[in-house]
A and B are shown apart, each in its own frame.
Chain A
Amino acid sequence: MVRLVSFWQQYHLGRWALIIVALALFALPLAQIIVPERKLVTNSLLFSFTQMFMLVTMASNWNLTGGYTGYIDFGHAVFFGLGAYGTGVLMAKAGWIFFPSLIVGAIVALIFALLIGSATLRLKGPYFSIAMLGTFVAMREIVRVIKPLTGGGTGLTLPPYLNRPLFYYVTLIQAVIVVVFVWWLIKHTEFGQSLIAIREDEVGAEMRGINATLHKITIFTIAAFSTGLVGGLWAYQNTFIDPDIVFIESRTLDLVMIVMLGGLGTIAGPVLGAVLLYWMRDIIWANFLQFHLIIQGLVLILIVLFLPEGIVGSISDRSGGTTIGRLWGRYFTAEEDTAPEKAEVGP
C-alpha cells in the first residue's frame, strides 16, 4: 500500500489521471458523431455528466475559500442562487437572451460576494461559517419577499432551452477551465503564491506585506462568480426556479461533503469527491430515496470522524503536516505549528 502510494506520488499519476479523464470526457460527444447508429451517447448520460460537472465546479469553488483560506462556507449555495435568480429574472421578466443574463447573474453574485465577503472574511472561522449560513437562510426569505421581481414563492418560469448537448459542453468546459485555472493560479502567479503564503502562515505573510484580507476577499469573489455562472446555467436548464429548489439546504451539504470526501485544499479532491458523491447518490436514490439525506448526513459525520483529510489528502505527501491540520490548527486551537496560541488553554 505504501509502495503504491509513493509510486502514485512519484509519477504524479493523479494529475495524469485527471488529464486523461478530462480528454475522454471531451471526446465523449464525438462518439455520437463517429458512430451515429450505436446510441452511445444518450441524453440522460449527457444530463448526468452535466450535473456531475456542476458539482465539480461548485465544489472546486467552495474549495477555494475552504481549502486555500481555511474558511468553511456553509452558505456558498447563496451565490448559486443569486446566479440562478439573476439569470432567471432577466430572462423571464426583462426578456433578455441567455448569455448576457448569465453573465449579469454571475456579476450579481460577484458583487454580493464582494460586499458580504469584505464584512465576514475579517471574522474568525466559526463566525464566518455561521454568518454565511445566515446569509443563505436569509437570502431565501429575501427572494421570497421581493415578489414583484422574483415571483416570490410561486417562482419563475424561464423560456425553455433548445439544445441539451450544448449545455453539457458549456458546463463541461467551464468546469475544466475552473479546475485548470485554479491550478494555474496557485502555481504560476504572484497572487497564487501569496495565497499559499497566507495559507501556510498568515501572520508571516502579512509581515512581508501581503494584504491577507484583500487576497481572501478576491478568491472568495472569484469563487462566487464562478458558482453564480453554474447557478445561471442550472436555472436555464431547469427552466423553473423558486426559492425552495434554488436555496435548498442539501446543496450546501453536497458541496461540504464533496470537498471533505475528496480532500480539503487539494485540487483533485473536489473532482474525485463529486464523482463519488454523484455515484453514491445515484445508488442511494435508486434504492432508498426516502433516506438519502439521512445517509448523506451520516456519511459526512463518518468522514469527519475517521477520514478528516479526505481521500486525496490522505494519499498525497506534504512535508510538515497536512493542509487541513495547518489550516484548522492556525485558526482555532493550539497545535504544534501555532506555538504563540498555546498560551490560551481550554475552551
Chain B
Amino acid sequence: MQLNQFLILAAFLFCTGVYGVLARRNGVLVLMSVELMLNAVNINLIAFSAFGRHVAGEVFALFAITIAAAEVGVGLAIVLLIYRNLHSANLDQIDRLKG
C-alpha cells in the first residue's frame, strides 16, 4: 500500500473537521469535529509508525487518544456550563464581550 493513501485520507478527515469547527454553531457538534481532526492525526501517526517500522508512532497515538478523551471531558463540561448560563448550547450566542 502507498503511504500516500493514508495521509490523504487523514487530510480529508482533518479538513472535514476544520469545516465542522468553522460552520457548526452547536457546541457539542464543534467538539465532534475536533474529534475528527484528532483522529486524522492518529491515522497519520500509525501510518508513519508502520512505514518506519518503529513503535514510537503508536505510543504517541495512544497519548493523543488519552488527551482527546480528557479534552472531551473538559469541553463537554464547558458546553454544559454555557447551556446552564445561556439556556442554549449555540456558540454564536456567547457575545457578551462584543462592543
Question: Do chains A and B interact in one complex?
Answer: no
